[in-house]
Amino acid sequence: MIYTMTFNPAIDYVVHLENHLQPGKINRCTDETYQFGGKGINVAVMLRNLGHDAIALGFIAGETGSWLQKGLHNMGLLTDFIRLPSGMTRINVKVKDKEETEINGSGPVISPADMKRLYTRLDALKSGDILVLAGSIPACLASDTYEKIMRRLAVRNILVAVDATRDLLVNVLPYQPFLIKPNSHELGEIFGRELKSDREITECATKLQERGARNVLVSMAKDGALLLDETGKVHRMAAPSGKVRNSVGAGDSMVAGFLAGWLQTGSYEKALRLGTAAGSATACSLGLAGKEEIDAMLAKM
């Protein structure tokens, strides 16, 4: 089974403006929608779209938490959320005009007792299961939370995929995650340099692999993706053509597509191909892409 972890899920309220956002004035939207999100949830939704069951783990609170859970169940997603005694699941406001402006909520407080409940759930994972740790962690949690989780799972043959930034990513490397997925900008930040070529990206990915990562998947926006697999082989995939309409969830879609492709074929090359198609399809959609949109991207590759 695949499990995805979202410490701070959200309801994204997305509004589209015909003109630029004007601070201090009334702005009227031309279209509005809402999406149930958080990076781990996005991965779970995309896995479901690709035909793989996944259970979304995380924390919810208040009426907004009930709305999020009900909405995900109506979408056919399996969840095992921990309900917090106070606070509310956050609402993020995404304003889309010629650019994208985001106002993100803070979310509820997660206590040590709540974390113990999470560890109990994680203790139920079995050998061969996959756990996806995606995104940042709330300020109320210790900065080594991902490390504690991986240390707890280290001797149980749980495959862990980590999509995080900077220290949150680097500090889990000694626990040999199955997959890490920085984007090229985040990879450069880790080493304090701007990466301008495939050679430089491969060089930095190799350093992360030497520190423990089994597979390093680097997303490169319109330039596609690069994978350094656990055998040391470098795979490169160009992004299929399409008009970019949305940046939210593209990286999560790539992670889901990669895992789905690897589970289906056992081939890292084919996993990269499906991951790149899924990420590109979401980037060219208004929300997370469906199977038809992904298949259309695959046909272009």
- What's the pLDDT tens digit per position in 242-281? 777 777 788 999 999 999 999 999 999 999 999 999 999 9
CATH number of the domain bearing residue 6: 3.40.1190.30
Number of H helices, E strands in the chain: 10, 13
Sheet with 10-16: list strands edge to edge: 31-37, 10-16, 90-96, 100-103
Q: Read off the tokens for 120.
A: 């109990």
- What's the pLDDT tens digit per position in 175-208? 999 999 999 999 999 999 999 899 999 999 999 9
What sign does the dihedral 9-15-19-24 (CA atoms) show? negative
* Angle, in degrees to the nearest 10, between helices 250-265 and 39-49: 50
63: containing domain: 1-21+28-114
User: For residues 289 and 154, what is the distance between their CA atoms, to the nearest angstrom?
Assistant: 33
When pLDDT is cut at 50, 70 and 90, the band that residue 241 belongs to is confident
Total tally of structural domains belonging to the chain: 1
Question: Using an 8 Å Cβ cutoff, are 132 and 172 in contact?
Answer: no
Taking 80 as the threshold, does the pLDDT of residue 108 lie above it? yes
User: For residues 145 and 180, what is the distance between their CA atoms, to the nearest angstrom?
Assistant: 16
Collect all residues with Cβ–Cβ distance below 8 Å to 180 and sequence separation of at least 6.
161, 162, 163, 169, 172, 173, 208, 213, 215, 216, 217
pLDDT of residue 134: 92
144 is catalytic: no
For Cα atoms 43, 47, 49, give the angle at the middle one, nearest 5 degrees. 120
Question: Using an 8 Å Cβ cutoff, are 224 and 236 in contact?
Answer: yes
Does the residue 105 lie in any domain?
yes
Does the residue 194 lie in any domain?
no
Dmax (CA) for the chain in angstroms is: 57
Does the residue 106 lie in any domain?
yes
Does the residue 100 lie in any domain?
yes
Q: Read off the tokens for 290.
A: 């469906």
What sign does the dihedral 94-282-50-296 (CA atoms) show? positive
Question: Using an 8 Å Cβ cutoff, are 265 and 257 in contact?
Answer: no
Does the residue 46 lie in any domain?
yes
- What's the pLDDT tens digit per position in 5-19? 999 999 999 898 988
For Cα atoms 8, 118, 139, give the angle at the middle one, nearest 5 degrees. 35
- Select which of 114, 129, 229, 252 is catalytic: 252
Collect all residues with Cβ–Cβ distance below 8 Å to 42 and sequence separation of at least 6.
134, 249, 252, 253, 256, 288
Collect all residues with Cβ–Cβ distance below 8 Å to 277 and sequence separation of at least 6.
240, 257, 294, 297, 298, 301
pLDDT above 70 coverage of the chain, percent:
100
Does the residue 186 lie in any domain?
no
pLDDT above 90 coverage of the chain, percent:
73
Question: Using an 8 Å Cβ cutoff, are 62 and 30 in contact?
Answer: no
Does the residue 109 lie in any domain?
yes
Question: Using an 8 Å Cβ cutoff, are 274 and 260 in contact?
Answer: yes
- What's the pLDDT tens digit per position in 278-297? 999 998 887 888 899 999 98
Does the residue 160 lie in any domain?
no
User: For residues 255 and 250, what is the distance between their CA atoms, to the nearest angstrom?
Assistant: 9
First to last CA, the chain: 29
Taking 80 as the threshold, does the pLDDT of residue 83 lie above it? yes
Question: Using an 8 Å Cβ cutoff, are 266 and 250 in contact?
Answer: no
- Out of 20-34, 45-59, 81-95, 215-229, least confident range: 20-34
